[in-house]
Amino acid sequence: MSLLNRRRFLQISAAACAGLTTGGAAASSPRLHHWKGSAMGAGASITLAHPEAERIVADCRAEIDRLENIFSLFRPDSALSRLNREGSLENPPFEMLALLDICGAVHAATGGLFDPTVQPLWAAYAEYHAAGRAPSPGALADALERIGWQHLHYDAHRIALTQPGMALTLNGIAQGYVADRVADRLAASGLNDILVNTGEFRALGGRPDGDPWPVRFDDDRHEAAGGIGLRDRALATSSPLGTVFDADGAVGHILHPRTGLPAPNRWRLISVAGPSAAVADGLTTAMCLMSRDEMVAALGHFPGTGLAHLS
């Protein structure tokens, strides 16, 4: 069930293609190849300068497609969809187990505010708002009874949802994980100076001209909200109203796993940079529910990871 608006208020974009040969060594820099498409329901892009750029991008697209067959809620035969439908998954893919380990670490670091078992609550909001009204108190109470990371059990052989009606969403972290996997695949092939964007960013090196990859943040008033240069770093961004359930754009998609309420409109845009796009992605999701002091405490669990933007 799709939301009514996507990234209605905020735009996070790579400026890499504003001028394909701009930068400190523009005259001698190779021309950048820029692919644009989609990944995990978000806009995606891969930017690099290489004589075999089209082949490299094709390999990346195949890897993205393979990972969507694991993590997508919108593919009925994905590993995640089968887990949610059947309540368990035998012989789960390695990538699913690896991402659940990261989820557990972010869950602990955020005091449980990052909780992928929130899917029943998300589904209730989506269903009710599609019918033009807010979820009833009874519907929210019912959904909350089916939420709890402690009710997810997994090992190398099986993943089990131990409460009736449980379901997972990995939408708050899988985009970052896919960026990491694609970037690691490229690095293992000896490639460098590539920007991977799967809704979250991961930079291998910098631009071929020697500059970092520029990423900017724009607010809903089309004013520059700042930017960051990425080199061998990941960047993830979330906003309480980045995606909304209602036509008025007032009910955001990030939901508190204990109260059932949408994130308060305290923050407009939160960006985290660090070694892992998956970790940064999960943190920014939970940070929409947190005070600044709580954010700093959560970041302390992940060396080399910090706030890149907060407004």
Q: Is residue 218 part of a domain?
A: no
Which residue ranges of the chain lie beneath pLDDT 70?
A: 1-30, 218-225
d(CA 172, CA 18): 28
d(CA 242, CA 6): 7
Q: Is residue 112 part of a domain?
A: yes
Q: Is residue 80 part of a domain?
A: yes
- Give counts: helices (H), strands (E), the chain: 8, 15
For the chain, what's the residue count? 311
Closest CA to 1 of 131, 141, 133: 131
Closest CA to 99 of 288, 279, 260: 279
CB 282 within 8 A of CB 172: yes
d(CA 13, CA 34): 13
Residue type at 170 in one-letter notation = L
Q: Is residue 139 part of a domain?
A: yes
pLDDT recorded at residue 9: 37
Match 């754009």 to its residue by tokens: 249
pTM of the model: 0.91
- Helix 53-71 / helix 174-188 crossing angle, nearest 10 deg: 140
pLDDT recorded at residue 22: 32
- Burial label for 291, CB within 10 Å (0-12, 13-18, 19+), is exposed
Q: Could you tell me the CA-to-CA distances from 8 to 2, 180, 242 in Å, in that order?
A: 14, 26, 6
Look up the CATH number of the domain holding residue 146.
3.10.520.10
Match 């669990």 to its residue by tokens: 301
| Domain coverage including residue 239 | 5-13+34-205+226-265+278-289
Q: Which token pair is 130?
A: 């599609």
Q: Is residue 179 part of a domain?
A: yes
pLDDT recorded at residue 299: 98
Q: Is residue 211 part of a domain?
A: no
Q: Is residue 306 part of a domain?
A: no
Q: How many domains does the chain have?
A: 1
Q: Is residue 213 part of a domain?
A: no
Match 């071929």 to its residue by tokens: 208
